[in-house]
Amino acid sequence: MRLQDIARGVRAGDIDPVELAENALARAERAADLGAVVHLDPEGALRAARQVRSGPLAGVPVLVKELIEVEGLPFTCGSDVFADRVGEADAEMVARLRAAGAVVIGLTYTHEFAYGCTGAANRRGPCRNPRDRTRMAGGSSSGSAAAVAAGVVPLAIGTDTAGSVRIPAALCGVVGVKPAFGTLPTRGVFPLAPSLDHVGVLAGNVEDAAYAVRVLGRLVGGRGPITPRLAVPARSQECAPEVAEAFARATGFVTEKVWLPDAEEALTDLQGPEAAAVHAGIFPEKADDYQAETRALLEAARQVPGWRYVRALERRRQIVRAAEEALKDVDAVVMPTVPILAPLLGEPGVRPALLRNTRFASLTGLPAVSLPMPVEGPLPAGLQVVGLDETRVLAAAAWLENALDRSL
């Protein structure tokens, strides 16, 4: 059932929000071996559910990434550094969820401090992929993607700085939306790199994800054209064969090509210093409390010289202008969200491949959706849709989801 239908049913009194919450809590318990849900709040959830009467998300059970502050719940960011920390107030995003009638049932796993994309660095160990428990869920919003993929909740909240919503969405086979920069509020989210940090949503289908973004981002306006103008990147993508084949099949009808500027260096030079500034005073002072992977990243981040940061700020402005020029005549450019399938847990050196295709929309702040793309074999793959106009990107993703369904 779609989010709109759930909320409509709850508002009409046809669906019992307490039962929705109880069922979600029970599903979360059953999926405990995934490590996706790191904290359940049955008491708070049931209390909230009993009070739900109205709202565009009335009664919808949601999970929130543990990087986002929720009053009274653990706020550890997946790290021993904040092992005993408890949220003192609701993040703006949580306040908006509650105002819309959603019921927060608990917290989901984050790659420690959101500083990584494998979902394998957290005080609790790795998060597992529901499609194959020996494989990575991706990250950093690992638990939100895995929980939606496992059917625990129809909607979960994540964050995305370089791909952290879209990568786990692709690896777990769900929809992830990283809206345009600023569409969803970051107040109360523990920052990774503030000039790049986005809040995003994960859901089972594009319609639900888009609906949640519109409601929570308070977007107005139409949904754009019915048949979107699409392009693929002019630069050919290095992909795993399964992903390349799936992408070719999914986008065979797209003839338009656009040149996209390379975002890697600028993003790295922005993210590192901003992350190191956020952690200044904690790292290196409490370096031993960080996971080894995070420690290594922060050590490298502290070494990035200021002049490179300054140059990256300028480079970002150039890349934004280049992106606006490249995409001005299409609704969206599509590419594989991640060029590889979910790696086995413990597989080394996968970070560069995982991040390769998501950085562009992170650096530019452009809206991006990852939706499942039909692929041979048991593991999912994601199709990423990026464009200048948020409404049109969401509409293009919905159109693509429908077209891919029909092609099966």
- Minimal distance in Å, beta carbon 307 to a copy of itself? 4
Q: Which is nearer to a copy of itself, 123 or 311 (CB)?
A: 311
Among 308, 356, 359, 392, binds a copy of itself (CB under 8 A): 308
CA pair distance 166, 168, nearest whole angstrom: 6
By the rule CB under 8 A, 272 interacts with a copy of itself? yes
Cα distances (Å, whole numbers) of residue 65 to 121, 164, 363:
15, 11, 22
In the three-class reduction of DSSP (H, G, I as helix; E, B as strand; rest coil), residue 100 is classed as coil
At 23, which amino acid appears?
A: N
- Minimal distance in Å, beta carbon 47 to a copy of itself? 38
- Minimal distance in Å, beta carbon 181 to a copy of itself? 17
Q: What residues are labeled active site?
A: 65, 140, 164
Relative orientation angle of helices 264-279 and 292-303, to the nearest 10 degrees: 100
What letter does residue 127 receive in the DSSP assignment? Answer: P
For residue 340, count CB atoms less than 10 angstroms from its CB and return exposed for 0-12, middle for 13-18, buried for 19 or more. buried
Among 86, 248, 280, 300, binds a copy of itself (CB under 8 A): 280
- Tokens in use for 298? 């922060």
Contact 156, 62 (CB under 8 A): yes
- Minimal distance in Å, beta carbon 192 to a copy of itself? 12
User: Cis before residue 284, ω within 30 degrees of 0?
Assistant: yes
At 129, which amino acid appears?
A: N
By the rule CB under 8 A, 340 interacts with a copy of itself? no
Stretch that binds a copy of itself, among 212-220, 308-316, 330-338, 393-401 (CB under 8 A): 308-316
Closest CA to 157 of 126, 196, 114: 114
CA pair distance 83, 104, nearest whole angstrom: 21
Among 51, 134, 303, 402, binds a copy of itself (CB under 8 A): 303
By the rule CB under 8 A, 269 interacts with a copy of itself? yes
CA pair distance 294, 276, nearest whole angstrom: 11
Among 310, 329, 376, 405, binds a copy of itself (CB under 8 A): 310
By the rule CB under 8 A, 274 interacts with a copy of itself? yes
By the rule CB under 8 A, 309 interacts with a copy of itself? yes
CA pair distance 206, 384, nearest whole angstrom: 12
By the rule CB under 8 A, 304 interacts with a copy of itself? yes
Stretch that binds a copy of itself, among 90-98, 128-136, 299-307, 385-393 (CB under 8 A): 299-307
Stretch that binds a copy of itself, among 25-33, 142-150, 160-168, 301-309 (CB under 8 A): 301-309
Stretch that binds a copy of itself, among 27-35, 57-65, 300-308, 324-332 (CB under 8 A): 300-308
Among 314, 324, 347, 405, binds a copy of itself (CB under 8 A): 314
Contact 86, 76 (CB under 8 A): no
Stretch that binds a copy of itself, among 169-177, 230-238, 275-283, 329-337 (CB under 8 A): 275-283
Cα distances (Å, whole numbers) of residue 333 to 7, 202, 328:
33, 21, 11
Among 273, 380, 382, 387, binds a copy of itself (CB under 8 A): 273
User: Cis before residue 140, ω within 30 degrees of 0?
Assistant: yes
The residue count for binding a copy of itself (CB under 8 A) is: 20
- Contacts with a copy of itself by CB under 8 A lie at 269, 272-277, 280, 301-311, 314
